Amino acid sequence: MTTDETDAPVDPSKLEENLAKIEVLSQRLVAALSHQRQVAPSLQGPSPELYAKAAAAYWQEMMSNPSKIFEQQVSYWGKTLKHYIDSQQQLAQGKLEAPEDESGPDPRFSSPLWRSHPYFNYIKQQYMFSSEAIGNAVQELDGLEQDDKRRLEYFSKQIIDLMSPTNFLATNPEALERAVETDGQSLVDGLENLVRDLEDHHGDFVVNLADKDAFKVGGNIGTTEGEVVFRNRMFELIQYAPATDKQYATPLIIFPPWINKFYILDLKPQNSLIKWITEQGYTLFVVSWVNPDAGYADVGMSNYIEEGYLAAMKEVKAITGEKQVNVVGYCIAGTTLALTLSLMKQRGDDTVKSATFFTTLTDFSDQGEVGVFLTDDFVDGIEAEVTERGYLDSFYMSRTFSFLRSNDLIYRPAIRSYMMGEAPPAFDLLYWNGDSTNLPAKMSVEYLRKLCQNDELAKGEIELCDARLALSDIDVPVCAIACETDHIAAWKSSYRGVQQMGSKDKTFILSESGHIAGIVNPPSKKKYGHYTNPDMTVDPDAWQAAAEFNEGSWWPRWESWLRKRSGKKLDARTPGDSSHPALAKAPGTYVVSGK
């Protein structure tokens, strides 16, 4: 900013114009909020029982060990009072400077003003002292069961993050500075962004993370060449065009999760796993699941197995003339692939030559971070919701996953958009993240009750398709890729599930990063490495301690594993055949319907 710009007088006419815009936008805001859905209290937060347990444990501790509580309080009071006195002394000496700040780095407080300006630094440090005191009080609270304590820690952290001074205009120096620099234009733009988001989501508070007009599925993302060669009520089957003159005989089918859409594996050519696989010489098929509505209320896990997995394998065998296929399951699709493989074993069906699992949970004994939402208070609320509507609206799953990373996916984007007045970025991954899907009512309840809560697959007790299914039935060669910082499918749980599979041929790869970035990790980026260790007889910690770290993507290592199980090379196959004519160009119609 130049000196002339800094000294430029405020333009009254511009301020008046912005005030008029704010009045119009305020009317639109009220209209948008009038359409907001009524969310049941059971889906808004944990039940009062959790808070009652916490209060009871706190009072019991205060009565039995008052010195512990007193020590916590004195520590907090001492820090806040000392900081207050230090700040007053600075002012008394005529120094408009902040006292010493030992709070350490925090991406929320990246502006230099948080450290140098006495007012903003005071607010920041007092917030940090309070956050630390609350966190310590919860962490050191005895008398709670481990699951209750973990939930209390999580929801306490949510409240702490919500109350950060960065989230409020009056205590955010960057937003205030921006408002002054733009004569209030940033606030007008921010209000316009807020109103637009509310209108886009029918009154629900959902921050648009990416510029929705910057991308078009099939236009500039999801563009790998292919054809839809089969369609039923559950999915479209896409066969991708060959990228080599020769292809391996055994076809490969990818089953992506139906919580989001498959094009996460085909965002753009540079990071498309789908494109990369075709370039390695594989005949690739990908399932694109339907986005269900109330008409799918009675569709359960058995339907996904019979009308999804088994139907797709049947069609791929018919198209290619091969008796066996290799398969990949990602996240919930990997969990269901495990169920399918158990069923196929019991039926004597040897169609699958090998199976790969991306970030897949089959052992739910430790649910990881997402477990805070898998207790009866939330699941009962979801069951009531889907019973009434016939499906679980994408709003709920999207919101749940966002709150697992609230600072990254809610607060920071809201600050940039609503306080700073910035337009959402043109970021393909964030665009995909906002393009979520609904879940059928029956399937939602079965998955949450049978798998997540009761862990019936790992126990060998789950009954689907008129059979009792178990991990021990899975005897095909298995390769599993888990991600080190995955907040949805904890890697140690994924590892334990693979341990229980009956296969004698198991490979486990641990990628750096999380649920998405750890999988969408092309070799060209040379970004995240991975760990390998052939000994799967030990527990997860011992496995990692003895594992070898490998630089770069796991993709080539997996491809080398897959190549050995894909047969000889044949002339490349074009999509479809006489009985499977092209129904649509990739990425198909299901991926863009039901938005």
Mind telling me the catalytic residues? 331
Cis amide leading into 581 (omega within 30):
no
**Residue among 156, 208, 140 nearest 424 (CA):** 208
User: Looking at the DSSP assignment, which residues form a beta bridge with residue 358?
Assistant: 330, 481
How far, in whole angstroms, is CA 120 from its chain's centroid? 33
How far, in whole angstroms, is CA 137 from its chain's centroid? 29
Q: Helix, strand, or coil here: 552?
A: coil
How far, in whole angstroms, is CA 316 from its chain's centroid? 30
User: Looking at the DSSP assignment, which residues form a beta bridge with residue 481?
Assistant: 358, 509
C-beta separation of 576 from 319 below 8 A: yes
CB atoms within 10 A of CB 160: 16
Query: What is the DSSP secondary-structure string of 217-260?
Result: BTTTBS---EEEEEE-SSEEEEEEPPSSSEEESS-EEEE--SSS
Q: What gap in Å lies between CA 172 and CA 457, rounded to an integer?
A: 49
Q: Helix, strand, or coil here: 530?
A: strand
**Residue among 313, 321, 167 nearest 252 (CA):** 313
Cα–Cα distances in angstroms (integers) from residue 98 to residues 92, 102, 229, in the given order: 12, 12, 67
Per the listing, tokens 């704010």 go with: 22
User: Looking at the DSSP assignment, which residues form a beta bridge with residue 248?
Assistant: 569
Q: What gap in Å lies between CA 591 and CA 595, rounded to an integer?
A: 9
C-beta separation of 158 from 167 below 8 A: no
Q: What gap in Å lies between CA 398 and CA 430, rounded to an integer?
A: 12
DSSP 8-state assignment for residue 423: P
Token pair in block for residue 196: 């637009």
Q: Which residues of 500-527 are buried (b: 16+ CB within 10 A; e: fewer)?
A: bbbbeebbbbbbbbbbbbbbbbbeeeee
What is the C-alpha end-to-end distance of the chain, expressed in Å? 43
Q: What gap in Å lies between CA 159 and CA 390, rounded to an integer?
A: 32
C-beta separation of 289 from 590 below 8 A: yes
Q: What gap in Å lies between CA 380 and CA 43, rounded to an integer?
A: 9
At what angle are helices 118-139 and 146-162 packed, to 10 degrees? 170
Token pair in block for residue 168: 């409020």
Position 146, amino acid: Q
The C-alpha angle 112, 114, 120, rounded to 5 degrees, equals: 140
Position 547, amino acid: A
Burial of 223 (0-12, 13-18, 19+ CB in 10 A): buried
